[in-house]
Structure 1
């Protein structure tokens, strides 16, 4: 089932993947449930905001990014076992309706776990890009990943 293990990760490697179109209906639906600020919900109010237009919640941008990441990891057969967390989450610029997002990952570190011999930890810079290649959000994530099973 799994094809990519800790030992397959190369520090410094960069991968870009995904395509997620930001729609008006989804921006409003997400904001209605999780971040009901006027510039996420109402186009007229958004015009009067610092953004000047309806834009996605930063948390919605996180969710769209996560969707692309999981599809990529699962599609490639990565032996991911989840994440203990992220660091330095930054929303660089607003994500507007009609933009198409993708993800760029850069492997910063990959090492065996000190306490669990079958696991490793990989730290990556995760950047969410718009269709112009501009970074709209970034964070550093640590992923728990299985080590390649040994032959017995």
Structure 2
């Protein structure tokens, strides 16, 4: 049975554990496209500032049109992070962001390449069974040729990940009744005592099966 610490961020059995997230590892989280309707709907509900929701005012401003709420952009990053990493890794939780920067406006129709880089990793002393991983996440706007043109978001954060489970040593497992001599054998007598053993002249234990038959002398 899979224990909670061995589940991925989406609840499935994990493939990756703390030990797999080594410093220097870079994980491609795919490319996300900014949907204009979704972008505005998010802003109307959570960040209804005019340059996010009013196309006329935004067009007449220095922005030249609607721009995404920064928190919508963060949400796009988070979804890519879950889909491409946390869905496979034994993720626990996160103590929070250390840095979040919006480096350029994001607009409807933008295509953003998403990536995380592992900057550091250490076992947690306060939370046995977990390790703390330091990560940097980036989003880059792609040009018509799919080459990165501009970094639009950068974030530094930490996450807790479960250590890889250690398989039990068979020598440490207590024997069950089924492991005992004569158990579950139809021809064995549960009440019969086990045959005694004696040491041979060579010191090797020898099983005695019954009384010795008298020798006959002619």
Q: Same fold (TM over 0.5)?
A: yes
Note the aligned Cα RMSD (angstroms). 1.2
**SS of the residue 2:24 aligns to:** coil
In structure 1, runs of 5+ residues without a counterpart are none
- Looking at secondary structure, tell me which structure has more strand per residue: 1
Structure with larger Rg: 2
Q: Decide which of 152, 158, 180 is 1:136's aligned counterpart.
A: 152
Cα separation, 2, equivalents of 1:148 and 1:34: 39
Q: CA deviation at 1:135?
A: 1.2
Is the 2:32–2:114 Cα contact (8 Å) retained in structure 1? no
Paired residues, number = 151
- By relative contact order (CA 8 Å, sep 6+), the higher-ranking structure is 1
Cα separation, 2, equivalents of 1:49 and 1:3: 48
Once the two structures are superposed, the pairs formed by residues 1-152 of structure 1 within 5 Å of their partners are 1-75=13-87, 77-132=88-143, 133=148, 134-152=150-168
Cα separation, 1, equivalents of 2:130 and 2:154: 25
**SS of the residue 1:127 aligns to:** strand
**SS of the residue 2:89 aligns to:** coil
When normalised by structure 1's length, the TM-score is 0.93
Is the 1:73–1:80 Cα contact (8 Å) retained in structure 2? no
- Looking at secondary structure, tell me which structure has more helix per residue: 1
Cα separation, 2, equivalents of 1:67 and 1:146: 21
